[in-house]
Structure 1
Amino acid sequence: MDCRPECRRNADTSSYKRRMDRQAPMPQLPVYIVDGCDHFRDSTAAMLTARGHAVQGFDSADAFLAQVAEPDGVLLLDVRLRGRSGLALQAMVAARPALTIVFASGGAEVTDALAAMKAGAMDFLVKPVSPRTLVRTVEQGLSRAAAAARVATARANRRAFESLSPAERTLVPLLARGMRSKVIAQRLSKAESTVKNQRVSVLRKMAARSCFDLASKMEDIAGLPPHGLAA
């Protein structure tokens, strides 16, 4: 797709990419670039890849929707796209708790920027965007998305814990401490076979691979505010 001049000015990021090669952080969540300008999309992807981020590029909203079912991370998109607009795409995915939306556009109206921010976008950048600003904004978005993902995971763990029976809940702190079934049975005055069966049930319901994993999940739950309070 032909690019606007401000997009082409964003394409020359090779020197910045070389400076960042030596200090690239490891990625945790992906970055999706939805932009009809090949120059902007490819150069931004190369720059973020040099920083250690996993990047996927798409030339339209429909291409993105066709390939990404449950997006988490950062969605960097233009307002003006072939077919479905960037604002329309935002409306479709904004409910994802661990997805941060950032707009980068050179031909948008003020009303577009206001609509994007009102709908929950983290930022609205005007092209041409300096490489440093682009990287900083995307990485701030990734930090926000990662924090939201941790909260969502902890809430899912809490729902799983609440699905346990009272007897199974009694076992959780003991299992999380690494106590063996025989020791737990003696402490709770239960048959060892009963404890073993309940242990299997607890790990299954909590989707825990081990007692160590169970302990980690309980730590996540402990970091959540009580029910009824904002996270």
Structure 2
Amino acid sequence: MTHFIDTQSTVFGVDNDPIYRHVLRMILLSAGYATELFDRPEPLLSRVSPVSRGCVVTALDLPGFDGLELFRAARDQEIMLPFIFVSGKASVQQAVTAMKLGAVDFLTKPVEPKTLLATVDRALLLDAQTTSERAAAEAARARWRSLSAREQDICRFVVKDWLNKQIALELGVSEAAVQRQRANALKKLGVRATFELIRLLERTGEGGGGRQP
């Protein structure tokens, strides 16, 4: 079976059971994943950051600081790595809570290697997709910030299907000025069609802007 391998990604594992950590390491390394394992949550939180890539496989039952608390602490630090929870004695309520928090999956020990690796693949693919989307959104925001305030206003009107004549009247400028600034704005943003502009503004969070005629 071919696994999703990204050279920038690491599978981070947390479990206080040294035997299980060893088994987990062997399974992950056999599939070619870069792996870092910890015996408690605190070192993991010190190791990762908002720009870390990969996923976390964590035991739910950890002394003093359980897996759900680890998940919440990571999110509080804006660490958005996908989480996979593993437990040998979790309650149904704990499993439901983990999934509601956004876990990729909740697995029961002993976990079949094939099941674990398939779940890790899903988590890494999710992280890659999320990272790509965040990068695209940040690039869109950077291009949007490069526009002047007037160019931004014109773009907001354009996505509302305003004509150049309407925009000129609203802004108190000539239609030729609107045409020129509209062309400059689209060039800076790297778009040609209105639907491309709409998509870009949605990525920046500006999709709902603009005044009504």
1:148 to 107, 130, 135: 130
Q: Is the 8 A contact 1:36 1:81 kept in 2?
A: yes
Residues 63 and 84 of structure 1: CA distance in aligned 2, closer, same or farther (over 3 Å) = same
Residues 24 and 115 of structure 1: CA distance in aligned 2, closer, same or farther (over 3 Å) = closer
Please give the root-mean-square deviation of Cα atoms over the aligned residues, in Å: 2.8
1:47 to 27, 30, 49: 27
1:113 positional shift: 0.6
Residues 141 and 102 of structure 1: CA distance in aligned 2, closer, same or farther (over 3 Å) = same
Aligned AA for 1:144?
L
Provide the C-alpha distance between the structure 1 equivalents of 2:3 and 2:112, rounded to a whole number of angstroms: 18
1:40 positional shift: 1.6
Counterpart of 1:135? 117
Give matches, 1:1-231, under 5 Å.
26-28=5-7, 29-70=9-50, 71-94=52-75, 96=78, 98-165=80-147, 225-228=199-202
Q: Structure 2 regions of 5+ residues with no counterpart?
A: 152-187, 191-195, 206-213
**Identity among equivalent pairs (%):** 29
1:138-165 deviation line (CA, Å, top 9, x unaligned): 0111001100000001111111111214
1:227 positional shift: 3.5
- Structure 1 runs (4+) deviating above 6 angstroms are none
1:63 positional shift: 1.9
Q: Is the 8 A contact 1:78 1:86 kept in 2?
A: yes
Q: Structure 1 regions of 5+ residues with no counterpart?
A: 1-19, 170-201, 203-214, 216-221
Q: Is the 8 A contact 1:25 1:51 kept in 2?
A: no
Aligned residues: 157
Normalising by structure 1, report the TM-score: 0.60
